[in-house]
Amino acid sequence: ETAGVVSSGQLTIKKSITNFNDDTLLMPKATFTFDVKPVDVTGEEKDTASGLKIQKGIAGVASQTIQYDNTDKPTNKEKAVNFDFSTVTFPNVGVYRYEVSEQAGDVKGITYDSKKWTVDVYVVNENNKFTPKYIVSKETTDSSKKPIVFNNELKTTSLTIKKEVTGNSGDKTSDFTFTLLLKENTQFETGQKVKATKKKSGAEEETVEVTIGKQYTFTLKDSEELILDKLPIGITYQVDETDKNKEQYETSAKMTEDSKEAQDYTLNDLKTTDETADTITVTNKRNLPIPTG
């Protein structure tokens, strides 16, 4: 078969998450829906090669869907589904014109493909039945025949949790205990894992996993960080320091989004990720009081 020409009544739609190349990325649950709709034509135009009249497509081809979920990996970033034109009752021979498009969904972090494809179905009379013989596809803005592919991208974001110890009696060698909770939602189910890196003092790094729906406990010393650099967009998290305001420390937190000015952050507040990178800096300040008595 020639590229963009199918010699049957089945038209294959391919889908690719083009930048999904990293095993550590978590694919959201997403349903992609593809529509095929008849296109209005003048009724005067003829296909040069066949002499057949170009006509408005006949309705009767159902929309199709392709599903992705949290278990998908780059090995199956490409999927396909078929439109079946053999179920359509065509009234005569001719070239029947359709448009194929992808519905714009609402899954956060997914970029949808707005491209439109023109599909011409060549119908002939075989055994006294009007039957699809060839299907030709091309981009609506391009005259060259090619197979239908919808390309999408998956965007992620990042969260960094930093520790600062200040004051003249702040102990920079002490461990402070934190909790992080990534909450499940319709796109990300409990038990799925997100990679994180703990940056320790002295440039040492440790790779860890944070499980969605399960509280993750970790410790940070002064200047240490926990970084989730491929965090899904649209997931809600809570960060808390379980040692806050203990041992005469005053604990405060600031949230920085990208390079914007830092804002006060209330520990354990709910925050939903977007495309902006979040940095939460938790400061424990302690100054030696004047001895009295």
User: Among 167, 128, 186, which residue's Cα sits nearest to residue 251?
Assistant: 167
Q: In the chain, what are the domains?
A: 5-154 (2.60.40.3050), 156-285 (2.60.40.1140)
User: Among 150, 129, 131, 128, which residue's Cα sits nearest to residue 139?
Assistant: 150
From CA 52, how far away is CA 42, in angstroms rounded? 14
Q: What is the DSSP letter of 42?
A: -
69-84: pLDDT as tens digits? 999 999 999 999 999 9
**For range 85-99, the mean pLDDT:** 97
Confidence of residue 194 (pLDDT cuts 50, 70, 90): very high
Q: 75 burial class (0-12, 13-18, 19+ CB within 10 angstroms)?
A: exposed
Please tell me the predicted confidence (pLDDT) of residue 44.
87
Mean of the per-residue pLDDT values for the chain? 95
From CA 264, how far away is CA 145, in angstroms rounded? 56
pTM of the model: 0.90
152-178: pLDDT as tens digits? 999 999 999 999 999 999 999 999 999
Residue listed under structure tokens 């809600």 = 236
Residue 287's identity, in one-letter code, is N
Q: If DSSP codes are grouped into helix, strand and coil, which group holds residue 153? A: strand
Q: What is the DSSP letter of 128?
A: T
From CA 133, how far away is CA 175, in angstroms rounded? 72
14 and 150 in contact (C-beta within 8 Å)?
A: yes
Please tell me the predicted confidence (pLDDT) of residue 259.
84
Question: Percent of the chain at pLDDT above 90?
Answer: 90
**For range 141-162, the mean pLDDT:** 96
